[in-house]
Chains A and B, each alone.
Chain A
Amino acid sequence: MLEFDVAVIGAGPAGLAAALAAKRSGAQKVVLVERDFRMGGILEQCIHMGFGLKYFGEELSGPEYAARFIKRIEEEDITVMLDTMVLSIDGDMRVIHAVNKNGVVNIKAGSIILSMGCRERTRAQVAVPGTRPAGIFTAGTAQRFINVQNELVGKKAVIVGSGDIGMIMARRLTLEGVKVEGVVEIMPYLAGLTRNRVQCLDDYDIPLYLSHTISDIRGQYRVEGVSVARIDENREIIEGTEFDIDCDTILFSVGLIPENEVSKSAGVLLDPVTGGPIVDDHMETNISGIFACGNVLHVNDLVDNVSIESEKAGKAAALFAQGRLHEKTEAISLACGENIRYVTPQKIVRGGQDDVTIYFRVSSPERNIRIQAEADGAVLLEEKRAFVNPGEIEFITLQKENLSGINAEQLIIRTVRE
């Protein structure tokens, strides 16, 4: 049995930042466990730009953003175990069960940070009908095939879902000589960032079909085409609007799901809306000494936010391992008010010494609104927003002075129209 003060599972952006912060917050022995052959996680295949503006003040590609953290990890005395797969966690004992080519690896840790990231939703979860031929990929899988393995997935593609990865892959495919016939989005608005629509679709005249769905996939062995149809507000197909697109490839970019199979084995409770653990403002889960950060917690749109949030988890985990994280006391729970789909953290420990940033998503797009934090009928904080969109994470920061006076059980976050 190996023993560490802090064990971090997953060396993607969340794990890298958390491990580094843990080390710098005084944890002596830190281990980073990664299943792939290198650190960096999904950033290694995100070769496009757009990372780091907030965190580093300059625009970087995914691998460059990861490399800055990897360098720091390598400079610190942090143990990195690559090609090592965590199979389960004993939550009470805080023992990680993993394997690699050298055998079974068991790690007893003072505290554990869950940073396994997320996985892509598949065709099955959106129940697209039709045949099941070759040529159907999730956008991220296609991205790995092309950007890491040098393998081209098709010649003529349709993309389902207007998430960022889908739009970025539309451009990537186009630059690789693949004809992208269109992006089909079931919602009446874009799922990803406007910037990506402009630079990934509009630049190459790739059609975007909002309020449309794939009503059929054809092809027995390889994809031969799709049927696309307009839908009404009940998501029912409007008759007579159907048209066919010939293609040999379909990429699904229909959302991400936090990857929490290992968390479940430890007894960690999940939020049904985020799909990630319920945490307090120290990023601690319901299981004492187990922390969570990054996309395992909720799906982020900006890696910079992941790094910032994960540093918080790393620091708290280090303090916990040293016995310095103050006792779990009562917590204020956060509730979703008008047009708020979820908030994280879901709880704030009373008597904290830090400001608390709350991340949330809205349920539907709105213009000219105010974000309110309310407890016991009193508005603690109010911020204006010109525009909010379900595709983009919002956050507000509550000052510790604001928090210390709260006696209420619940703090409600909501949007209010002007």
Chain B
Amino acid sequence: MDYKTDVVIVGAGIVGSAVARQLSRYELDVMVVEKKEDIGGTASRQNQGVVCATSVFSMLMYEDEHMMDPTITNLFTISNALIYPQWIADLEVKYRQIGAICVAKNQDEMDKMEVARKKGWERGDYRTRRVTKKQVYELVPQLAPGYIGGYYCPDECAIDVFDLVVAMMQNAMENGVKVLTKTKALAIDVDKETKTVRGLKTDKGYIEANYVINCCAIYADDLAKTTGYCDYRCYPRYGQTPIMDKNLPYAPTPMVRPCPGRVATGVAITPTASGNLGVGPSADNGEDKEYTATTKEGIEKVMEQARKLIPEMDLRDSVTQFTGARCCKDPSNWVIEVSHNIKGYCEAVGITQGVTAAPAIACYIQNLLENDGLQLEPKDDFQPHRKKIKRFVDMTEEERAEAIAEDPAYGTVICRCETVTEAEIVRAIHTPPYARSVDAIKRRLRAGMGRCQGGFCSSRIVEILARELKVPVETITKNEPGSEIIVDTCRK
């Protein structure tokens, strides 16, 4: 099937979703193309425990310095101070302020962090402050002995990253954006004479468009090459991450990090929006963009580093371990621009802090396109609030009674660990961006993400999906095609 639209966004990760939502404010035909079965990209999906890094200080501590050009810094500052709170309020995304502390073993590390504080200040971080040894142990009583002080930023927030992605895309779709999943962008079609974008070739048909926005993260170089211009390379950085159970006695209140060494980034202990703890991630550069696996050594190393911060950390309290592939770019600077070479080509690549920057990047791109001559007429009837699925676990007893009276399926708890009801699962299947797999349900509702890891609910979720989609259970997948869960019926 072929399509015609004004703007195609390639990649439905956090950046693509944010751009889609921002552009849905205008009288414009916008399509999003995603090669996977669900939105959420590669990095954003696996980012289930990571904090919305609000302080420039922590950026300076952990990222290559040369990516911090002034535009980017401004993006962060604007994003956090102005855009983020509004987006979170509009979209009703779960988040909580946790604060973050970097702890130092010795004066050397304190000095290093003091340099970072100064640089942070130059870039607009006025909040990160030095704390004494006593204050460090007050903030994190569980901390191992031997730390002499640290730097603390109260503004760090834990956010449910996937909920943010779903919220942005849902809101975009409610405002008219079309999303094609399981659709692989093959090449950007460029008129050789005029060097102008004509459209996008995909494995599901041709999309005629005036603008193509490359938000492919780790695959951005592959798509960029099809325009004939690409001066960078994208590669994965694998991060192994154990996720720990809720309510552990040794769970710290703020995010806790060591002062990073010259090469290795420090493993962080991160309270998540849902009340779990994320540990890690490790950081190992690789080549294979698809294949992510944990290793015994990798997980053990992460835990060993975590125990240097909190000695009680125990892998047996972990509910899952996974390896995520973060996007790295060589050279490592962020590029958010409309192409000088190809008219109608725009890209946001090299974004290593997508969770923090996505809303700001989206607003920035919208302005870039407008400056480039794209007519952006605001929609009279833009609806900034998403219609969020009412979450049983967050309801009061009165609200629960009311919800069950309205829909008895709210009275059937399917996932016990995370208290998710059948009504929510049915809604996730029928609400954009429509959940079509067990993992898609898990990401939206956390069903199966708890300590039993779907042992109890997965067999029921498979049946609910099959029933609601009116398909045989054998076709229900964990995620991508090829990940079917049931191979056959036992008795025909």
Contact = CB atoms under 8 A, between A and B. Distances in A.
A151 B458 CA distance: 13
Interface string A251-282: 00000000001000000000000000000000
A405 interface: no
A238 interface: no
A105 to B, nearest CB: 9
B299 interface: yes
A386 B462 CA distance: 48
B294 A103 contact: no
Interface stretch (A21-29, A212-220, A298-306): A212-220
Nearest to A213: B296
Contacts of A146: 490
Interface string A310-338: 00000000000000000000000000000
Given A129-B293, A149-B463, A102 B408 contact: yes
Contact of B299 (A99, A104, A127, A221): A127
B412 A176 contact: no
A124 B490 contact: no
B93 to A, nearest CB: 25
A129 B299 contact: yes
B322 interface: yes
Q: Which of A104, A134, A144 has the most CB of B within 10 A?
A: A134
Contacts of A125: 316, 318
B484 A130 contact: no
A107 interface: no
A130 B294 contact: yes
A31 to B, nearest CB: 17
A187 to B, nearest CB: 16
Q: Which of A122, A144, A217 has the most CB of B within 10 A?
A: A122
Contacts of B486: 145, 151-153
A155 interface: yes
Given A101-B411, A119-B456, A129 B318 contact: no
Nearest to A35: B413
A144 B473 CA distance: 14
B322 A132 contact: yes
A99 B404 contact: yes
Contact of A99 (B290, B400, B462, B463): B400
Contact of A103 (B292, B293, B404, B455): B404
A330 to B, nearest CB: 29
Contacts of B485: 134-135, 153
Contact of A102 (B411, B417, B463): B411
Contact of A101 (B321, B408, B482): B408
Query: For chain B, what secondary structure do more than half of its interface residues adopt (helix, strand, loop), or is it mixed?
Result: mixed
B397 A141 contact: no
Interface string B470-487: 000100011111111111
Contact of B401 (A83, A103, A138, A154): A103
B469 interface: no
B294 A129 contact: yes
A248 B487 contact: yes
A341 interface: no
Contacts of A153: 485-487
A20 to B, nearest CB: 25
A150 B291 contact: no
A150 B491 CA distance: 6
A169 to B, nearest CB: 13
B488 A152 contact: yes
A20 B411 CA distance: 27
A122 B417 CA distance: 13
A253 to B, nearest CB: 12
B419 A122 contact: no
A222 B295 contact: no
Contacts of A176: 490
Interface string B268-299: 00000000000000000000001111111011
B407 to A, nearest CB: 10
A220 B293 CA distance: 9
Contacts of B491: 150
Contacts of B417: 261
Q: Which of A85, A129, A135, A140 has the most CB of B within 10 A?
A: A129
B449 to A, nearest CB: 11
Given A99-B413, A131-B293, A152 B487 contact: yes
A144 B293 contact: no
B98 to A, nearest CB: 23
Given A99-B411, A133-B483, A222-B483, A127 B315 contact: yes
Contacts of A135: 485
A118 B318 CA distance: 18
Contacts of B413: 35, 85, 87, 99
B233 interface: no
Nearest to A142: B459
A350 interface: no
A131 B489 contact: no
A133 B413 CA distance: 26
A104 B401 contact: yes
A95 to B, nearest CB: 11
A130 B483 contact: no
B319 interface: yes
Nearest to B477: A134
A134 B484 contact: yes
A151 B473 contact: yes
A103 B411 contact: yes
A87 B318 contact: no
Contacts of B480: 221
A120 interface: yes
Interface in A350-387: none
Given A100-B411, A124-B318, A221-B483, A216 B293 contact: yes
B453 interface: yes
Contact of A151 (B298, B405, B490): B490
B322 to A, nearest CB: 6
A104 B397 contact: yes
A179 interface: no
Nearest to A147: B490
B181 interface: no
29 contacts: A83-B412, A85-B413, A87-B419, A102-B408, A103-B401, A122-B320, A124-B319, A124-B320, A124-B453, A129-B293, A133-B478, A134-B477, A135-B485, A138-B455, A146-B490, A151-B462, A151-B473, A151-B489, A152-B486, A152-B487, A152-B488, A152-B489, A153-B485, A216-B295, A220-B290, A221-B479, A248-B487, A261-B416, A261-B417
Given A130-B294, A216-B293, 10 more contacts: A100-B412, A101-B404, A101-B408, A124-B321, A134-B485, A151-B490, A152-B489, A220-B291, A221-B482, A222-B482
Interface of A: 35, 83, 85, 87, 97, 99-104, 119-120, 122-125, 127, 129-135, 138, 140-141, 144-146, 149-155, 176, 215-218, 220-222, 237, 248, 261
Interface of B: 242, 290-296, 298-299, 315-316, 318-322, 397, 400-401, 404-405, 408-413, 416-417, 419, 451-456, 458-459, 462-463, 473, 477-491
- Nearest 7 Cβ contacts at the A-B interface: A221-B482, A134-B478, A134-B483, A101-B408, A221-B483, A85-B413, A101-B411
